[in-house]
Amino acid sequence: MARANEEAAAALQEYAELFALTGGDAFRVRSYQKAAKAIAGFPEDISATDVRAVPGVGEAIAKKMEEFLQRGSFRQLDDLRGRVPEGVRRLTRVPTLGPKTAIMLFDDYGIDSPAALGEAITAGRLDGVKGLGPKTLANLLKGVEQLEQSGRRVHIGVAMSLAEQVMASLSAERVAYAGSLRRMKDTIGDVDILAVAPESIMEEFRAQPYVAEVIAAGDKKTSVRTTSGVQVDLRVVPAASWGAAMQYFTGSKEHNVAIREIAVKKGWKLSEYGLFEGERVIASESEEEIYAALGMQYVPPPMREDGGEVRAALRGELPEPVRLDDLRGDLHTHTDLTDGIASLEDMVAAASARGYSYYAVTDHAPDLTMQRMTLDKALAQRERIAKLQSSYPGMRLLHGTELNIAPDGSVDWPAEVLRGFDVCVASVHSHFGMPRDEMTRRFITACENPYVDIIGHPTTRKIGKREPVDADWDAVFRAAARTGTAMEIDSYPDRSDLPSDLVRLAKHHGVRFSIDSDSHAIPHLAHQRFGVGVAQRAWLTTDDVINTWPLERLQAFLRP
Ligand code: DGT
Ligand code: CA
Ligand code: CA
Ligand code: ZN
């Protein structure tokens, strides 16, 4: 995704928030937010094209964006930043805390940060304040805790684009990311970068515009806090020990401990510099050589969690995990008929450019009322898809829908309508707080619906924003396996849903999976790489993943 787009969109989003905070017209707030989303999702770099080409960007917004591209801000944004106290802005980051309450808390009680709000609530200082009942206060406290949690780790989408930015900014002979990011964890504590480079790279690194603060500066390692708040560690390593360093700093620590024990048993030593017998180097230049010398299969980074992979690799029994190249299509995507920002034609063209054999369009169904879907619109879309099909002889277009699972487990349309779709994803979009047994029954009922093929983003969590729903997943997965309902791995990086531990559990119950992008814009199609990371962490093979299958096998699964 183009950097300029992300930054410009973030500025416009901030402007929308400040505009709302200062009592700005709600309609204009919405149009700024929509334009920000559209800019972030626009496939071309807006610093190289006319920003007016982005849907939803009119003259007034275009002017602001042009000024932003020139000097990193715009007049109206500067103006509002000056008018809204920093303390109020910090407070509105607390989930469920609206602008009016934020201003009241700041003006009347001097509360100027989420931490101060947490203390005030805990100390009972806000008890009895008008408009803040016990339930509201409890929710606010939960919001403060969530915010603190999310401040510590970021989701993989944020970390990955930061790592790519850092790597592109450095002059090195060789550069790569290691750590939890290379292991494709869904959240990342800090980004670890390794480089083969002259010493001057450290100075070059410290001078980058994304560096907010230098935490530790040395010849071999420099740690900085970036403007996004995420820490980056840069380590310079000798070219001869590249493989050993990558192995060591990729971790996990637990995996490394297990590997080192194998070396020790052979009378060898394994460090970040290599595998040694006394002074003699046995292997150091590549990870492959190190694993081979230890008498084990190469372990792909996402599997390095000391979850049985060491034993399996020693026995030659490590399965071959699914790869991004294995995916033949995408089974959960949106268009501008509902909340996507690109047209059907543009999404399909982008999917075709990715070389898919099949591609499903699954816009929202009517019960998500704000999307204003109707049966007529869905049927008209089906006709458009049928017409488009002739332009794509190599790719089968599937007309699908993303249904809403009601509290009782039913979905939007009756059987005779559902029968007309090629694929039905069904997801929970409301009533997230149902008790465990009711939520479990809700999912099982959805699985038992013969037209529901895939349960979309099953836990509905949003990393740092919304907790997963509570359900007896063993019972849900048993039902999914029994009814032939796939569980989705939603690749959108703030979702990563199912998470890998639940994928592993579901696989144990015999469930199949669909690795989908849940795209709402063209660049989102590429998010599938994160879903593949989740699948690899759970040891899935192509046999487990329905959208690696040839079309005929997939269709037999969808409509047996
Ligand atoms: P994170 O940053 O919390 O998401 O997780 P990691 O795994 O990236 O952890 P980090 O950044 O502390 O260290 C990166 C890798 O370096 C870690 O996975 C294994 C290796 N490493 C770091 N410190 C040690 C250590 O004291 N012992 C061993 N065996 N390995 C270490
Ligand atoms: Ca790390
Ligand atoms: Ca680190
Ligand atoms: Zn959804």
**Are residues 66 and 93 located together in one domain of the fold?**
no
The one-character DSSP state at 296 is S
Residue of 150, 153, 156, 180 to test ligand 1 pocket, by largest number of atoms within 8 Å of CB? 180
User: Is the pLDDT at 452 greater than 90, yes or no?
Assistant: yes
For residue 368, the domain's CATH number is 3.20.20.140
For residue 140, the domain's CATH number is 1.10.150.20
Q: Give me ligand 3 centre to Cα 96, in Å.
A: 33
**Which amino acid residue places its CA nearest to atom 24 of ligand 1?**
253
For residue 195, the domain's CATH number is 3.30.460.10
Token pair, residue 505, equals 């559990």
The pLDDT, as a whole number, for residue 149 is 66
pLDDT per residue over 327-376, tens digit each? 999 999 999 999 899 999 999 999 999 999 999 999 999 988 878 899 99
For residue 19, the domain's CATH number is 1.10.150.110
For residue 297, the domain's CATH number is 3.30.210.10
Q: Give me ligand 2 centre to Cα 179, in Å.
A: 5
Token pair, residue 553, equals 């096998």
Using H for helix, E for strand and C for coil, what is the string for 346-358? HHHHHHHHCCCCE
**Which amino acid residue places its CA nearest to atom 13 of ligand 1?**
179
**Which amino acid residue places its CA nearest to atom 1 of ligand 1?**
189
Burial class (CB in 10 A: 0-12, 13-18, 19+), 550: exposed
Tell me the C-alpha distance between 558 and 560, whole Å.
Answer: 6
Of ligand 1's listed atoms, the one at least distance from the Cα of 180 is: 8
Report CA 314 to chain centroid distance, whole Å. Answer: 33
The pLDDT, as a whole number, for residue 1 is 54
User: Is the pLDDT at 442 greater than 80, yes or no?
Assistant: yes
**Are residues 220 and 98 located together in one domain of the fold?**
no
pLDDT per residue over 275-324, tens digit each? 999 999 999 999 999 999 999 999 999 999 999 999 999 999 999 999 99
Which residues lie near ion ligand 2 (Cβ < 5 Å)? Answer: 179-180, 190, 192
27-28-32 Cα angle (round to 5): 120
- Number of Cβ within 10 Å of residue 241's Cβ equals 19
**Which amino acid residue places its CA nearest to atom 25 of ligand 1?**
253
Question: Residues 61, 66, 71, 72: is their CA dihedral positive or negative?
Answer: positive
Q: Give me ligand 4 centre to Cα 518, in Å.
A: 7
pLDDT per residue over 145-195, tens digit each? 877 766 678 999 999 999 999 999 999 999 999 999 999 999 999 999 999
**Are residues 384 and 509 located together in one domain of the fold?**
yes
Split at pLDDT 50, 70, 90, the class of 34 is very high
Of ligand 1's listed atoms, the one at least distance from the Cα of 249 is: 16
The pLDDT, as a whole number, for residue 314 is 97
Please list every protein residue whose CB sits less than 6 Å from any atom of ligand 1: 179-180, 185, 188-190, 192, 248-249, 251-253, 256-257
Ligand (nearest to CA of 363) = 4
The pLDDT, as a whole number, for residue 151 is 62
Token pair, residue 415, equals 């059987």
* Residue 316, CA distances (Å) to 57, 298, 301, 533 in order: 56, 10, 17, 22
Q: Give me ligand 3 centre to Cα 190, in Å.
A: 5
**Are residues 363 and 268 located together in one domain of the fold?**
no
Ligand (nearest to CA of 233) = 3
Average pLDDT, the chain: 94
Q: Give me ligand 4 centre to Cα 459, in Å.
A: 11
In terms of phi and psi (left: phi > 0; alpha: psi -120 to 50; beta: otherwise), the region of 458 is alpha
**Are residues 49 and 71 located together in one domain of the fold?**
yes
The percentage of the chain sitting over the pLDDT mark of 70, rounded to a whole number, equals 99
Could you tell me how many residues make up the chain?
560
Tell me the C-alpha distance between 42 and 35, whole Å.
Answer: 10
Task: Tell me whether strands 396-404 and 423-427 are parallel, antiparallel or unpaired.
Answer: parallel
Tell me the sheet residues that pair with 216. 223
pLDDT per residue over 461-489, tens digit each? 999 888 999 999 999 999 999 999 999 99
**Are residues 53 and 138 located together in one domain of the fold?**
no
Of ligand 1's listed atoms, the one at least distance from the Cα of 179 is: 8
- Number of Cβ within 10 Å of residue 467's Cβ equals 14
**Are residues 391 and 537 located together in one domain of the fold?**
yes
Ligand (nearest to CA of 252) = 1
Q: What is the pTM of this model?
A: 0.81
Q: How many domains does the chain fold into?
A: 5
**Are residues 281 and 230 located together in one domain of the fold?**
no
The candidate with the shortest Cα–Cα distance to 245, out of 234, 258, 231, 230, is 234
> What residues make up the domain containing 130?
85-152
Mean pLDDT of 419-440: 97
**Are residues 397 and 496 located together in one domain of the fold?**
yes
**Are residues 501 and 412 located together in one domain of the fold?**
yes
Tell me the C-alpha distance between 336 and 225, whole Å.
Answer: 38
* Residue 237, CA distances (Å) to 50, 194, 244 in order: 43, 7, 10
> Of 79, 106, 137, which one is at a domain's C-terminal end?
79
Task: Tell me whether strands 513-516 and 486-490 are parallel, antiparallel or unpaired.
Answer: parallel
The candidate with the shortest Cα–Cα distance to 422, out of 446, 405, 397, 403, is 397
The pLDDT, as a whole number, for residue 515 is 98
Most confident of the following: 105-119, 216-230, 299-313: 299-313
The pLDDT, as a whole number, for residue 193 is 98
> Of 95, 123, 152, which one is at a domain's C-terminal end?
152
Query: Which residues neighbour 305 within 8 Å (Cβ) at sequence distance 6 or greater?
Result: 183, 252, 254, 255, 537
Three-state secondary structure call for residue 221: strand
Q: How many helices (H) and strands (E) does the chain have?
A: 23, 17
The pLDDT, as a whole number, for residue 421 is 97
pLDDT per residue over 38-50, tens digit each? 999 898 999 999 9
> Of 236, 251, 279, which one is at a domain's C-terminal end?
236
Split at pLDDT 50, 70, 90, the class of 203 is very high
pLDDT per residue over 428-437, tens digit each? 999 999 999 9
Tell me the C-alpha distance between 12 and 206, whole Å.
Answer: 28
**Are residues 217 and 268 located together in one domain of the fold?**
no
Tell me the C-alpha distance between 373 and 447, whole Å.
Answer: 23
**Are residues 44 and 100 located together in one domain of the fold?**
no
User: Is the pLDDT at 2 greater than 80, yes or no?
Assistant: no
